[in-house]
Amino acid sequence: MYRLSPSTYTAILALSIFTGGAHAAGVLNLYSSRHYQTDEALYKTFESQTGIKINRIEAAEDPLIERMKGEGDKSPADVLITVDMGRLLKAQQLGLFQPIQSELLKARIPRELRAADGTWFGFSLRARPIYYAKARIDPKTIPDYESLVQPSLKGKICVRSGSHPYNISLMSSIIAANGPDRAEQWARGMVANFARAPKGGDTDQIRAVAAGECDIALGNTYYFARLLRSGTPEDKAVADRVGVVFPNQSGAHGRGTHVNVSGAGVARHAPNRANAIKFLEYLAGESAQRFFSDGNNEYPVAGKSGNPALRQMGDFKRDTLPMDMVGKNYAAASQLFDRAGWK
Ligand SMILES: [Fe+2]
């Protein structure tokens, strides 16, 4: 009997996966760092609508970008999908994307949520509002990010590390709004008001507010929406004790609450380019936008969300600073955190 060596077998398997095997509509090789269970249904629907089979290669954000870079023009990647503006910009700067033209994407996605050169597109939004202890804080006293540095909040703020992209993006937007000097003063003011050294993720900060370790936190909206939708008594108790302020809605700092995108682009060397464009257009469509919102508690980039938790949190004005610009201040924001001691 003829036998294949394991390595030959692997090579043939890989070849059949990446060239589409017997599927007439072909395949799409998707490099994804979105690790949300609910994305499963998002991809399945695309497969059944188009007949195109999705091969998913999943890894954490930065290793995935490194892998694509290392593969160079041999990369099987058709689409890279990732969270946070910083990662999209990094992939763009490394030349991992190719620009595409799509009237549908231009029509569906607001200009500030996609790259000017057509290399990447934002498909869902997350905001970064302020959370507060309902029992101890009057929300009227914290109308904007700028108000968090008031001396009366000394020892009351919990926030994650300054090296995390969610905070770096927020800092980038504050540099764009107020200039580097005032932005640095703000970061120092925040550090002066910390209840503890930064540790943990966004949900940990919100839990710490509920537990009385601090009175104020920053965190992405989908984490709080998850707590609101959770069935456990512990999570319900947290959501009951904590309120949300969407900052910067009016007045001198009324530029809108900071938002970030989860986005994707067509890979520079995409072997299945047409399928890749089809997939991006699918992500901007109504059904996919609903998956992002209902499934992962993100805001759609097109249309309104019907997600009950997001509706409960309320409508808000978002900062419309172009995502490109948020990305441009990234390095400066990182250095600023270092200087301010926001570890
Ligand atoms: Fe997250």
Ligand 1 center to 83 CA (angstroms): 8
Report yes or no: 116 and 109 within 8 Å, Cβ to Cβ.
no
- At position 321, the amino acid (one-letter code) is L
Ligand 1 center to 165 CA (angstroms): 10
Ligand 1 center to 55 CA (angstroms): 23
What tokens were used for 223? Answer: 């984490």
> Which stretches of 94-195 are DSSP H helices?
103-108, 165-178, 180-193
Report yes or no: 196 and 155 within 8 Å, Cβ to Cβ.
no
Whole-number Å distance between alpha carbons of 210 and 203: 11
CATH architecture of 24-125+260-311: 3-Layer(aba) Sandwich (3.40)
Q: Phi, psi at residue 80, to the nearest 5°?
A: -110, 125
Ligand 1 center to 211 CA (angstroms): 21
Asked, colleague to colleague, whether 24-125+260-311 and 127-257+317-340 share their fold, the answer is yes
Q: How many CA atoms lie within 13 A of 333 on its CB side?
A: 25
Ligand 1 center to 7 CA (angstroms): 37
Question: Tokens 């890749």 identify what position?
Answer: 276
| Angle, helices 202-210/233-241, rounded to nearest 10 degrees | 80
* Burial degree of 95 (CB within 10 A; 0-12, 13-18, 19+): exposed
Whole-number Å distance between alpha carbons of 68 and 267: 9
Question: To the nearest 10°, the Cα dihedral for 213, 193, 327, 265?
Answer: 0
Predicted TM-score (pTM) of the model is: 0.90
Ligand 1 center to 190 CA (angstroms): 21
Report yes or no: 272 and 26 within 8 Å, Cβ to Cβ.
yes
Report yes or no: 83 and 33 within 8 Å, Cβ to Cβ.
yes
The domain locations on the chain are 24-125+260-311, 127-257+317-340
Ligand 1 center to 221 CA (angstroms): 9
Whole-number Å distance between alpha carbons of 297 and 177: 27
In order along its 343 residues, the chain shows pLDDT tens digits of: 334 344 444 444 454 455 444 457 899 999 999 877 778 889 999 999 999 999 999 999 899 999 999 999 999 999 999 999 889 999 999 999 999 999 999 999 999 999 999 999 999 999 999 999 999 999 999 999 999 999 999 999 999 999 999 999 999 999 999 999 999 999 999 999 999 999 999 999 999 999 999 999 999 999 999 999 998 999 999 999 999 999 999 999 999 999 999 999 999 999 999 999 999 999 999 999 999 999 899 999 988 888 999 999 999 999 999 998 888 899 999 999 999 999 9
Pick the CATH number of 127-257+317-340 from 3.90.650.10, 3.90.1150.10, 3.40.190.10, 3.30.70.20: 3.40.190.10
Ligand 1 center to 200 CA (angstroms): 12
Ligand 1 center to 69 CA (angstroms): 24
Ligand 1 center to 282 CA (angstroms): 23
Among candidates 274, 276, 259, 286, which has minimal Cα distance to 80? 276
What tokens were used for 276? Answer: 């890749």
Ligand 1 center to 168 CA (angstroms): 13
Ligand 1 center to 149 CA (angstroms): 25
